[in-house]
Amino acid sequence: MKVYSLVGESGTGKSHHASFIAGKYGIRYIIDDGILIKGNNIIAGVSAKKEATKIAAIKRALFTDPKHAEDVKKAIEEMKPDKILIIGTSDRMVDAIAEKLGLPPVSIRIYIKDVVPPKQIEIAREKRLTEGKHVIPVPTFEVKKQFSGYFLDSLRIFRRNKGGYFEKTIVRPNYSYLGKYTISENVINSIVAYELILFNEVYRVNRVLTEKRPEGIILKVDVTIKYGYKIIPVLKEAMKNIKKQLEYMTALNVLQMDIYVKNLYIEKTNTKEKGM
């Protein structure tokens, strides 16, 4: 296995240019901020950008947690890559990562200042300082699995010569914010109830239970449906709408949703009118 490194100071655009550089050298595997990436997929690991503090993020990127390091090491052993690119802020950092993961010593060192014009590096630094934006070199749909509750932006970089594009994800880690935000269960439950009562077939939302997990939320909903309607098509459409609105408004992943029809509402007929 041949090990490459991409080195540059924090905020100089390493992750942004990683896919392009890997493609140039025929490298299919990248280690960046605690995760092992192959093409458009996160194969193993946990992103350092999920950590609450910069110190915790550095430790995560350096694989100081034995279980984290073992998971990525095992994935590398199974994949058997012929080339791998390690991204870091210094030669010392990438060498430490290679050692932690049991990889051969770095044989080819690439420096961001040698492949990216100074003006682009300056712009990247400015964006990091003023907007706190970080790039993960995989598509948003892949990143969202690990980043439930984070507001993500998709970024497509089109290639002039070969056609096609690289898709990346922009995220603001917790340590880039001035403070933390919390979305309460009441907000989640209100969104669920509102989306359900938009359906004429739903008479009442009896209860919404929300179970929060690191990777997203699980919903259990009890409803009363009006008698005489086809229940399954209504619930399928309701679930689709709830998932769409919750993920758009809160950035939380909806992992599972169960809707229980506990009661039927039968409208009372006016007996006087019926007898006339």
Level-2 CATH architecture, domain 2-176: 3-Layer(aba) Sandwich (3.40)
Distances in whole angstroms, Cα of residue 85 to Cα of each of 66, 73, 152? 21, 14, 25
User: Measured over all CA atoms, what is the biggest interatomic distance in the chain, rounded to whole angstroms?
Assistant: 95
CATH of domain 185-265: 3.30.70.1350
Residue 159's pLDDT is what?
Answer: 46
Residue-level pLDDT at 74: 96
Query: What pLDDT does 90 receive?
Result: 95
Question: Which residues, given as ranges, of the chain have pLDDT below 50?
Answer: 139-142, 152-166, 177-178, 273-276
The pLDDT, as a whole number, for residue 116 is: 84
Task: Report DSSP letters for 191-212, one per residue.
Answer: HHHHHHHTSTTEEEEEEEEEEE
One-letter amino acid for residue 114 of the chain: D
Q: What is the pLDDT of residue 11?
A: 82
DSSP E strand boundaries for 59-215: 83-88, 108-111, 134-136, 152-158, 165-171, 202-213
- Give residue limits of the domains in the chain: 2-176, 185-265
And the tokens for 126?
């400015």
At residue 161, the pLDDT reads 47
Please report the pLDDT score of residue 204 as a whole number.
Answer: 94
Task: Please give the model's pTM, rounded to 2 decimal places.
Answer: 0.60
Closest CA to 43 of 81, 12, 11: 81
